[in-house]
């Protein structure tokens, strides 16, 4: 479950001050990670949060290896002095557009820690060969802070029909700019590629061909999602 000890990190900048780090060939043996998921395909379960699909707990050895990889190679690219918590899971987008809830029709941020002394970073590791299943896109809000905050509140307060009538957004995966969000970049999926980014960035899976989705980890959109909670860097350091 080991990682590349000499990764090449590409910093991709976009929008006002957004950026993410792209690491290709991140795993030394990516097929081992896929095999773990395939052997446990019956253990995938729906995700309780807003993720539009199913998930599986990762091998603890692989999770520990990623924590070490982030601390040694990636932490310096973020306001992240020390990792205090990490969550990870295999994930597969599986829902058809007409099965999505309004919150899944738009981009999102990862929940903040609630502690001003902590920051949140995230990573998506792509473990599928069919790049038409989609990578990850990043967005910026085009409306005022108050308008955008109201939209995010309404995705949970309104029914799907009410949300469509009020905002003109219909059931679908967000794949391009709309009246409320501007797509700033799309990172294409690639076998054994991982991206790292601040959880505060607006982002969404680039699911342009939902008809190709399936629930088989051998052929579907298998990813591993990691979430890091870190102490902020010391002032002046």
Q: What is the pLDDT of residues 59-91, one digit of tens each?
A: 999 999 999 999 999 999 999 999 999 999 999
Does 49 have pLDDT greater than 80?
no
Average pLDDT value for residue range 202-216: 96
Identify the CA nearest to 61 among candidates 122, 123, 121, 2.
Answer: 2
Average pLDDT value for residue range 163-172: 96
Average pLDDT value for residue range 187-201: 97
**Tell me: the pLDDT tens digits for 131-162?**
999 999 999 999 999 999 999 999 999 999 99
Confirm whether pTM is higher than 0.75.
yes
Does 114 have pLDDT greater than 90?
no
Q: Can you tell me which residue has the tokens 């081992």?
A: 32
**Residue 12 backbone phi and psi in degrees, to 5:** -105, 115
Does 50 have pLDDT greater than 90?
no
**Tell me: the pLDDT tens digits for 122-137?**
999 999 999 999 999 9
Average pLDDT, the chain: 94
Structural domains of the chain, ranges and CATH numbers in brackets: 9-231 (2.60.120)
Tokens matching residue 44: 């995938």
Q: Which residues of 2-39 are buried (b: 16+ CB within 10 A; e: fewer)?
A: ebbeebeeeeeebeeebbbbbbebbbeebeebbebbee
Residue 78 DSSP symbol: T
pLDDT of residue 115: 87
Does 236 have pLDDT greater than 70?
no
Average pLDDT value for residue range 185-196: 98
Does 103 have pLDDT greater than 70?
yes
Interacting residues of 184 by C-beta distance below 8 A, sequence separation 6+: 14, 15, 18, 138, 139, 140
Average pLDDT value for residue range 44-72: 93
């Amino acid at each position: 479950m080991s990682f590349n000890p000499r990764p090449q990190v590409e910093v991709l900048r976009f929008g006002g001050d957004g950026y993410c780090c792209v690491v290709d060939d991140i795993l030394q043996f990516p097929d081992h990670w896929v095999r773990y998921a395939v052997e446990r395909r019956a253990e995938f379960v729906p995700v309780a949060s807003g993720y539009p699909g199913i998930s599986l707990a990762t091998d603890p050895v692989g999770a520990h290896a990623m924590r070490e990889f982030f601390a040694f190679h990636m932490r310096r690219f973020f306001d992240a002095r020390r990792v205090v918590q990490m969550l990870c899971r295999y994930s597969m987008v599986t829902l058809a557009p007409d099965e999505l809830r309004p919150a899944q029709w738009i981009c999102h941020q990862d929940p903040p820690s609630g502690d001003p002394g902590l920051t949140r970073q995230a990573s998506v590791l792509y473990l599928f060969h069919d790049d038409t299943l989609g990578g990850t896109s990043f967005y910026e809000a085009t409306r005022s802070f108050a308008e955008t905050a109201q939209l995010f509140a309404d995705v949970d307060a309104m029914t799907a029909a009410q949300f469509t009538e009020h905002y003109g957004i219909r059931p679908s995966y967000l794949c391009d700019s709309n009246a409320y969000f501007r797509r700033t970049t799309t990172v294409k999926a690639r076998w054994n590629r991982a991206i790292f980014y601040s959880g505060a960035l607006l982002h969404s899976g680039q699911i342009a061909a939902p008809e190709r989705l399936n629930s088989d980890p051998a052929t579907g959109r298998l990813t591993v999602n990691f979430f890091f909670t870190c102490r902020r860097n010391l002032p002046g350091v």
